[in-house]
Amino acid sequence: MNIFNNLDTIIGILGFGFGIWQYKKASNLQKVVNDHIRGLYNDSKAVLEFAKKKDNYQTIGERARAIKTSIIRLDIINRNLDQKKISDLGEKGLLDSSEVTEYKKFSSN
């Protein structure tokens, strides 16, 4: 009986530790996604301001590319994509060839 009580305690501690580890992992991912979303919001707001006030198409284009880059990075993070998964999405027709190239360019591995 004493062995089973000790085993239960050890399993409980390991389960508790695993739960904390998963919570920290999820919190870090949520922070990264929130940072990207905040960046998307700020970039889109800036593009709208430039479009309303000025005919500065170069700046609008640069901001639009920054938004597109942020969206790609957010999608990579959200779907946990790596080079192989991006290629698989391209083969399945979920991404076209230009999207596969861009996604691979922004993928970290």
pLDDT at 69: 80
pLDDT tens-digit series, residues 23-50: 887 777 777 777 777 777 777 777 777 7
Task: Say if residue 100's pLDDT is above 80.
Answer: yes
Task: Say if residue 55's pLDDT is above 80.
Answer: no
The model's pTM: 0.53
Task: Say if residue 93's pLDDT is above 80.
Answer: yes
CA 97/CA 65 separation, integer angstroms: 18
pLDDT tens-digit series, residues 10-30: 888 888 888 888 888 777 777
pLDDT at 3: 63
